[in-house]
Structure 1
């Protein structure tokens, strides 16, 4: 590294006083115990609430993984100073997969295609039996989490190893992992979205659903990163390392994928609207009837129009108050949209909020964030020996 290169002036260790590992694990245990009680009171609601919360947090981890892969394959430098955050989010998917087990145990409550009598009486469902059957479903989940667990763990481990060894040759290895990883990840993400969410209404199908799931997940990731950066700054962490220029880039990605999300969501709706095939249009029909329609229209306003207008101006992309407001709004809307995808299958007549929606969210969220902090505190929170770090540190916001 050249002597005139910018140097890290911040501590790259997570301070002990802001280590929230025990706090989040405690919340997680309490939430999961309460959810377990709810299982015995209303098992069907438990499984739907659990699936909603699990899909919400998993989407953040998966979006983090693809961001890290894109970063490596493009030899990007803008996000090097914050790359460890998405690395850590995706590093623990091999552990996080254990918490998918309740969904496997609740398959008969969640998915109609597990009901043999229902399938035998339905010619459409009979045609889907080679794919939608319980043994193959379980096998696919093992493959998904095996693939995601490997890539998430490996990308984080090699990055941390570079911190210790200062071996820049490891950047080549990271690109070699990421290149096929993007393709394999895309395929597994597509089929996972089919399995977890689209097959809740097994008659419905949309070839755009995996792209839609990716778009909504990737849009939600940047608000998470933005809020975490502001939390670090508030606690005096990396204040001189992650600058306004990096925050602006996060805001620009946030804005870009807000537009991409809207484009994909509208295209999915438009294609099925003008095709007018009953098996396709009924999915939207139920979400445009009764109180579910309020969420449908709020998604247009709150997940696209508001962030689009607020972030359109260049200078607003590093306005702290505006970014915090927009980020919180999108994260909340991401959860609401996940609820909107899952819950009409159980509550077709209209919106129904259960206390299990809250306990599963707290329980799984506590475990998810507990895993994050327990991993983050073990290593540097910035990849200190990455060859692109000086360029990232030297990044400036151009007026």
Structure 2
């Protein structure tokens, strides 16, 4: 790593520490004003920060399955993301104390005790998979297929436990797939953005014969199109069925300022990034790829807020301020540790 990038990293990490301190101070003030909103806002912030970490793990396993030169450029950044995933999941576990009581008691599936056991199993699985992948993604061949099967199965159950259950009596078999595709897109976009920041040239071949930016842009566009497809398919099926117990999820999220979210997502999560990624010259430039990645990260963050905040008692603008402050604190801490892991990876890689 050259001295210029090292100095730049040092400055950025200092700014991130300042952002985390600011987030803590604002969160304390807003939490004092609305203590009942602390747990819901904390849940939103943790899952927003968990998304790129789990997404990095998904794409690391995909590379174990498929190979490809794209991972040569993204390997340090995917590794930094997935190494944070199990530790971030441990920060979710205190929320078990705030899970609403259900009429089911031990040992029934939806009881709090069973939910705690499943949460512990999720932690074990995440630690095991990330340990097998290692710091440099050098894993036994079986880790890719076995890890992908186990992780996708686990994330389906996790999504039902912690996201689908936010709306009582609402179930969608497609919801977990929409959420998983979204977090995969977040992880990929974050890794690409970090790679560009660390000087990976999108116009140059990276261990292959064509510009690495074309591969990264195509991979991001394919993931984007798949997310749009499954998200729209879920909406279309629920709209066509027009059953109250199914439409309730969308109706809750079409009141107040939330009614503008679908149109915003259509523009910033599909039209603009798709137009950028459709252009071969733009995929060869740092600005084009970085803009598409930033749009997708921001849009996925908005989608995560759309999942959590409309149904949770965030108690007015103070509650929203608390959610934003906790997100700022979590995101800056995540970015600080992420950059430290990338720096360590680059300095120790063979």
Structure 1 match to 2:133? 155
Inter-CA distance 255–241: structure 2 relative to 1 (3 Å threshold): closer
Tell me which residue corresponds to 1:28: 20
Residue 345, structure 1, aligned to residue 311, structure 2: yes
Instruction: State yes or no: 1:55 paired with 2:47.
Output: yes
Q: Are 1:15 and 2:3 an aligned pair?
A: no
Shift, 1:328, TM fit: 1.8
Structure 2 runs not aligned, ≥5 long: none
Structure 1 or 2: more helix by fraction: 2
* 1:151-177, Cα deviation, whole Å (9 max, x unpaired): 1233124x37xxxxxxxxxx5x43222
1:98 equivalent in structure 2: 90
Partner of 1:41: 33
Which fold has the larger relative contact order, with Cα–Cα distance below 8 Å and residues 6 or more apart in sequence?
A: 1
Alpha-carbon shift at residue 11 of structure 1 (Å): 5.8
- The alpha-carbon distance between structure 1 residues 18 and 289, as it changes in their structure 2 partners (threshold 3 A), is closer
1:298-377 matches, within 5 Å, as 298-346=264-312, 354-377=320-343
- How far is the alpha carbon of 1:251 from its aligned partner? 1.0
What is the Cα deviation at residue 264 of structure 1? 0.4
Map 1:237-316 → 2, pairs under 5 A: 245-316=211-282
TM-score for both structures, normalised by structure 2: 0.87
**Counterpart Cα distance in 1 of 2:276 and 2:333:** 33
Shift of 1:227: 1.8
1:219 paired residue among 185, 189, 196: 185
Cα distance 1:11–1:34, how it changes in 2: closer, same or farther (>3 A)? Answer: same
Larger Rg: 1
Q: In structure 1, the residue corresponding to 2:141 is in which secondary structure?
A: helix
RMSD: 3.2
Cα distance between partner residues in 2 of 1:257 and 1:352: 35
Deviation per residue, 1:241-261 (Å, 9 max, x gap) = 859822221111111111111
User: 1:182-197 counterparts in 2 under 5 A?
Assistant: 182-197=148-163
Residue segments in structure 1 that go unaligned for 5+ positions in a row: 1-9, 109-113, 120-125, 161-170, 385-399
Query: What secondary structure sits across from 1:377 in the alignment?
Result: helix
Shift of 1:14: 7.0
- Is the Cα contact below 8 Å between 1:197 and 1:341 reproduced in 2? yes
Equivalents in 2 of 1:225, 1:248: separation in Å?
A: 15
Shift of 1:16: 5.6
| SS at 1:83 equivalent | helix
- CA–CA distance in structure 1, aligned partners of residues 145 and 5 of structure 2: 31
